[in-house]
Amino acid sequence: MRMTLRWYGPGYDTVTLEQIRQIPGVRGVVTTLYQKQAGELWTESEIRELKRTVEGAGLEISAIESVNISDDIKTGAEGREEHIENYIGTLENLGKAGIRVVCYNFMPVFDWTRTELARIRPDGSTVLAYNQDTVDRLDPDHMKESVEAMSGGFVMPGWEPERLDRLKELFRKYRDIDEEKLFQNLIYFLRAIGPVCERYDIRMGIHPDDPAWPIFGLPRIVTGKEQIERLLKAVDRPYNGLTLCTGSLGSKQQQGEILDIIETARGRIPFAHVRNLKFNSPRDFEEAAHLSSDGSMDLYLIMRKLYESGFDGIIRPDHGRMIWGEKAMPGYGLYDRALGACYLEGLWEAIAKDRQGRKGEGRPCRGASPFLVFERT
Query: What is the residue-wise DSSP string for 5-64?
Result: EE---TTT-SS-HHHHHTSTTEEEEEE--TTPPTTPPPPHHHHHHHHHHHHHTT-EEEEE
Domains with residue ranges and CATH for the chain:
2-375 (3.20.20.150)
Residue 370 or 331, more confident: 331
**Mean pLDDT across the stretch 48-69?**
97
Which contacts (CB < 8 Å, 24+ apart) does range 280-286 have? 282/253, 283/131, 283/132, 283/133, 284/129, 284/130, 284/131, 284/132, 284/133, 285/129, 285/130, 285/251, 286/116, 286/119, 286/121, 286/127, 286/128, 286/129, 286/130
The pLDDT of residue 365 is 52
Helix crossing, 255-264 with 299-308: angle to 10°?
10
142 is catalytic: no
Measuring CA to CA, how many Å separate 224 from each of 57, 94, 252, 264, 319? 38, 30, 9, 11, 21
The pLDDT of residue 293 is 97
290 is catalytic: no
The pLDDT of residue 163 is 64
Does the pLDDT at position 333 exceed 70? yes
Question: Lowest-pLDDT range, 137-146, 166-175, 193-202?
Answer: 137-146
Catalytic residue of the set 103, 197, 245, 365: 245
Q: Are 290 and 316 in contact (CB under 8 A)?
A: no
319 is catalytic: yes
Does the pLDDT at position 375 exceed 60? no
Catalytic residue of the set 104, 200, 332, 335: 332
Residue 11 or 278, more confident: 278
Does the pLDDT at position 371 exceed 80? no
318 is catalytic: yes
Residue 157 or 233, more confident: 233
pLDDT in tens, 4-13: 999 999 889 9
Catalytic residue of the set 207, 209, 290, 343: 207
Residue 17 or 215, more confident: 17
The pLDDT of residue 66 is 87
The pLDDT of residue 141 is 66
**Mean pLDDT across the stretch 253-277?**
96
245 is catalytic: yes
**Mean pLDDT across the stretch 44-63?**
98
Catalytic residue of the set 71, 72, 318, 336: 318
Catalytic residue of the set 200, 273, 336, 343: 273
Please count the CA atoms within 13 angstroms of the CA of 240 that sit on its side-chain side.
Answer: 20
d(CA 165, CA 206) in angstroms, rounded, equals: 26
**Mean pLDDT across the stretch 172-195?**
96
**Mean pLDDT across the stretch 302-307?**
98
Does the pLDDT at position 232 exceed 60? yes
The pLDDT of residue 65 is 95
Q: Which of 228, 240, 243, 211 is nearest to 111 (CA)?
A: 211
Output the pTM of the full model.
0.89
Residue burial 196-220, b: 16+ Cβ < 10 Å; e: rest: bbeebebbbbbbbbbbbeebbebbb
DSSP E strand boundaries for the chain: 2-6, 26-31, 60-65, 101-104, 116-120, 126-131, 203-206, 240-245, 271-274, 276-281, 284-288, 314-317, 363-364, 374-375
Catalytic residue of the set 319, 335, 336, 365: 319
% of the chain beyond a pLDDT of 90: 76
d(CA 303, CA 351) in angstroms, rounded, equals: 8
**Mean pLDDT across the stretch 106-120?**
88
Question: Lowest-pLDDT range, 44-58, 142-156, 281-295?
Answer: 142-156
Q: What is the mean pLDDT of the chain?
A: 90
